[in-house]
Amino acid sequence: MVACLSASSRSHGYSMKASPSHLLLVFALFVTMIVAMVPNYLPERVWQVFPDEDGWFGLFGDEEIGGPSHSEWIDNKVGYWRCRVEAQGTFKYCGFNILTSENNRDGVDVSVYDAVRLKIRPLTEPQHLRLFMRHYDERYANPDDGNSPQFLQFSIRPQDLQDELVIEPSEFTVADWWIAQRAISRELAKPAFGNIIAIGLDYRGTLPPGDHEVVVEKLEFVGAWVSTENWYLGIIITWLLGALLVVTERMYRLRRTTRRARSRLQALASQHQDLRQEKNRYERLSSRDPLTGVYNRYGFEREAQKLLVQNERLEAALILMDIDHFKLINDTRGHNTGDDIIVGFTKLVAQHTRSEDILCRWGGEEFLLLCPGTHLDNAFALAEKIRKMVSETNFCPADPLQVTASFGVSQIGPDEEFLHALARADQALYQAKKQGRNCTVKADRLPNSPV
Per-residue pLDDT tens digits of the chain, which is 451 residues long: 444 444 444 444 445 566 787 888 888 888 888 877 777 777 889 999 887 766 688 899 999 888 999 999 998 888 899 999 998 888 888 999 999 988 889 999 999 999 999 999 999 999 999 999 999 999 999 988 888 999 999 999 999 888 999 999 999 999 999 999 988 899 999 999 999 999 999 998 788 999 999 999 999 999 988 877 888 888 899 989 988 988 898 899 999 999 999 988 988 888 888 888 877 777 766 889 999 999 999 999 888 888 877 766 678 999 999 999 999 999 999 999 999 999 999 999 999 999 999 999 998 999 999 999 999 999 999 999 999 999 999 998 888 889 999 999 999 987 788 899 999 999 999 999 999 999 999 998 654 554 4
* DSSP output for 323-359: ETTHHHHHHHH-HHHHHHHHHHHHHHHHHTS-TTSEE
Query: At what angle are helices 335-351 and 376-392 packed, to 10 degrees?
Result: 140
Q: The whole model's pTM is what?
A: 0.53
What the chain holds in terms of domains, given with CATH numbers, is 47-225 (2.60.120.430), 297-442 (3.30.70.270)
Query: At what angle are helices 418-434 and 297-310 packed, to 10 degrees?
Result: 130
- Beta-carbon contacts of 316 under 8 Å, excluding residues fewer than 6 positions away, are 307, 308, 370, 371, 372, 373, 374, 411, 412
Pairing of strands 80-85, 69-75: antiparallel
The CA distances from residue 106 to 138, 141, 179, 185, in Å, are 10, 12, 22, 23
